[in-house]
Amino acid sequence: MTCESWQQKLDAYLDAELPEAETRELDAHLRACASCSSQALTRSQLKRNIHLAGKQFAPDPEFRQLIQNSISPKASGRRWGWMVEAGIACAAVLLAIFGSMVWLRQSQRQELVGELTDLHVATLASANRVDVVSSDRHTVKPWFQGKVPFTFNVPELQGSPFELIGGKVTYLDQNPGAELLFTVRKHVLSVFIFKDSPELDRALGSGGLVRRLSFNMESWTDGGLRYVIITDAGRSDIDDLRARFVEAAR
């Protein structure tokens, strides 16, 4: 093969596109031919210089970001869409947590109200409604000493429509408490007094009138004690008796 023929194959040789057999032959020719070897060196240098010179234009980072945003499934509207989806999911979880807390609290409240109502009904149905029978508050209060882990004041009822029947020890959720029985115009009122606890506080909160099985219930805390009135009497009587207990506790 002549030098001219070999030189026509130099580009393919330098581009690594020449078949293996021809590459070996050309290698051998270049080692022997100074003219072709010089030509190969020149073209190789030019190829390398074009490679370097050809990388002339670089895009702006802002333009790159623009293109990236335009094709990325995570970008632009889709990113906001994802955030909205995540926000909705978080809100749903929070709502579920809040909802279960409310449900749990309502459930605890209903359970406690139900238990207190049962205690009141059991007292009404009992042949011996109270263990200490006395209309004298100075008799009833001392009777509880040593029986419950707290003390309390019984209100002065003189001149009021209320009458004290007596009291007995009761238990709520295995905690001892006092149950005082009153009457007002033939209606019977149970006043439960317990040591306040976080469980009672969570279940009964700050109180407010609650109706269950046509009984009315009012609850409040004072001096670390939880007071609960349950009766079939009206709200005004409940409020009246409550005010007397609050006054007595001062």
Examine residue 127 and tell whether it contacts another protein (CB under 8 A).
no
Of 218-237, binders to another protein (CB under 8 A) are none
Residue from 51, 138, 211, 250 that binds another protein (CB under 8 A)?
Answer: 51
DSSP 8-state assignment for residue 60:
-
Residue from 20, 31, 32, 53 that binds another protein (CB under 8 A)?
Answer: 53
Residue from 4, 20, 31, 127 that binds another protein (CB under 8 A)?
Answer: 4
Examine residue 55 and tell whether it contacts another protein (CB under 8 A).
yes
CA separation for the pair 41, 57 (Å, rounded)? 27
Examine residue 11 and tell whether it contacts another protein (CB under 8 A).
yes
3-class secondary-structure state, position 218: strand
What lies within 8 Å, CB to CB, of 70 at 6+ separation is 76
If the CB atoms of residues 11 and 247 are measured against another protein, the closer one turns out to be: 11
If the CB atoms of residues 56 and 158 are measured against another protein, the closer one turns out to be: 56
Examine residue 35 and tell whether it contacts another protein (CB under 8 A).
yes
If the CB atoms of residues 45 and 106 are measured against another protein, the closer one turns out to be: 45
Burial of residue 230, with CB atoms counted within 10 A of its CB: 0-12 exposed, 13-18 middle, 19 or more buried: buried
Write phi, then psi, for 35 (nearest 5 degrees): -65, -50
Are 212 and 111 contacting, i.e. CB atoms less than 8 angstroms apart?
no
The alpha carbon dihedral of 63, 65, 69, 71 has a sign of: positive
Q: Which stretch binds another protein (CB under 8 A): 56-64, 86-94, 134-142, 186-194?
A: 56-64
